[in-house]
Structure 1
Amino acid sequence: MFETLQQYQLEFYTIALIHLLAVASPGPDFAIVLRHSIRFGRRTAVITSIGIGLAILLHVSYSLLGIGLLIKTTPWIFKTLSYVAATYLGWIGIAAIRSSTGAYSEQSNGEHRHLSDKKAFIRGFLTNGLNPKATLFFLSLFAVVISAQTPTNIKIFYGVYLAIATGLWFSLLSCLLSYSKIRQFIGRNGHWFDRAMGILLIGLAIQLIVSDLF
């Protein structure tokens, strides 16, 4: 396995770099992790990050099976996916905007509102799994960057790496936001962060619908 992987080092490094640039850019995943970090605390944000990471395996699976090509070439399927994702992001965004001004006063002391681990995981998984842009990203990755001659086991390795790297990236973000000075700052200004994330999520939802119409 590792001897075979050495033959595809350049391909792997290219994938890793593209993925790093993609995961670091603002988007639904970033917004939901940031919101959960400032709203519910580090544990909830890390579990949300794990959900996002595992959702990557969903994209990898249908890309390997060729189902992704069907989604891309069948307009009504892709349009339905876009509308479902837009509705979901819009719902989360509205909830964020409606957050109360005093909702973060207790967080400066290290206390947070509660969101169950199950709900946090599901939110992370759905945010990434329903994202049409993630669908297009992985379709492009497997169609353009990854050679058709690359063995299936190497492609699976790529997928596992992308899932782990994504989960670790957002988990790191969650941990950074848990430092006392950052938490105290959030305790004073958290509702503005929440509303900003809400506007971002709603903007992303609108973008999904508008890009689909035109």
Structure 2
Amino acid sequence: MTFFESNMFVVGIVTILAVISPGPDFAVIVRNGLRYGRKMGLATALGIAGGVVVHVTYTLLGLSYLVAEFSWILEAVRYIGAAYLIWLGVSAFIPSVKDEEIECNEEVAPVGFWSAFRNGFLCNALNPKTMMFFIALFTQVISPETSMMTKVGIGVYISLSHLVWFSFVVFVLTNPRTVQIFGQWRKAIENVVGCCLLGLGLKLALDA
């Protein structure tokens, strides 16, 4: 196996492990999938993939060097991301439009595509751990001789990996059988996810 092939293998394995590891992205997917349904869950997955594109873009432009050198940038993103996760966690305890529709038995417009997309996008783009993942990946695994086309291809692969995995999670969550089984526990699950988001946000804010 050549050095290039070995590095691409490492990128593939590390990416898969990073994507499927539970974290803020997974929590927000569960929250939106259960609360708003399949379409909005998929919109959230697309937003997460879009957030990955942001990380890929600044890494390719060399801005990751600035992030690594000037720690206050990472600190600012850390606190903004923590505040956003805390807000998402709190919102899980606020009755949704769908809840009111069920209770009142009236037709009410669900949350919009862009709102769900924004949830996923900001959750990923403002995650400093994702920033550090890209900085580590592109500085330790990708060599200076690696062509720009290859780097872009790796970025596309990572983004699509997020989209495919979280879309799969959404389909599982919104499967009719799954909905039927967990329907009566939906609110309890949302509250648990809300607590997880709150915990992640607080941990992110308090981490040294």
TM-score by length of 2: 0.90
Question: Quick one: which of 60, 65, 77 aligns to 1:64?
Answer: 60
In the aligned structure 2, how far is the partner of 1:75 from the partner of 1:112? 46
Determine if the alignment matches structure 1 residue 170 to structure 2 residue 166.
Answer: yes
Check the 8 A contact 2:19/2:161 in 1, yes or no.
no
**Residue equivalent to 1:148:** 144
Matches within 5 A, 1:15-26: 15-26=11-22
Determine if the alignment matches structure 1 residue 78 to structure 2 residue 63.
Answer: no
**Residue equivalent to 1:27:** 23
Render the CA deviation track for 1:86-120: whole Å, top value 9, x for unaligned. Answer: 111100101113448x93995xxxx9972100111
Render the CA deviation track for 1:21-71: whole Å, top value 9, x for unaligned. Answer: 111111110000111111011110011101111211110111111111211
In the aligned structure 2, how far is the partner of 1:92 from the partner of 1:113? 20
Cα distance change, pair 188–112 in 1 and its aligned pair in 2 (3 A): farther
**Residue equivalent to 2:117:** 121
Unaligned stretches of 5+ in structure 1?
A: 1-5
**Which residue type is aligned with residue 77 of structure 1?**
I
**Residue equivalent to 2:9:** 13
In the aligned structure 2, how far is the partner of 1:185 from the partner of 1:99? 21
Q: CA deviation at 1:186?
A: 2.7
Check the 8 A contact 2:48/2:163 in 1, yes or no.
yes
**Which residue type is aligned with residue 201 of structure 1?**
L
Determine if the alignment matches structure 1 residue 93 to structure 2 residue 89.
Answer: yes
Matches within 5 A, 1:31-42: 31-42=27-38
Percentage identity across paired residues of the two chains = 34
Check the 8 A contact 1:39/1:113 in 2, yes or no.
no
**Residue equivalent to 1:207:** 203
Render the CA deviation track for 1:117-161: whole Å, top value 9, x for unaligned. Answer: 011111111110011010000000001122222111101100011
Unaligned stretches of 5+ in structure 2?
A: none
In the aligned structure 2, how far is the partner of 1:22 from the partner of 1:7? 22
**Which residue type is aligned with residue 86 of structure 1?**
A
TM-score by length of 1: 0.88
Please, what is the CA RMSD of the aligned residues? 2.3
Determine if the alignment matches structure 1 residue 44 to structure 2 residue 40.
Answer: yes
| 4+ aligned runs moved over 4 Å, structure 1 | none
Secondary structure at the counterpart of residue 85 of structure 2: helix
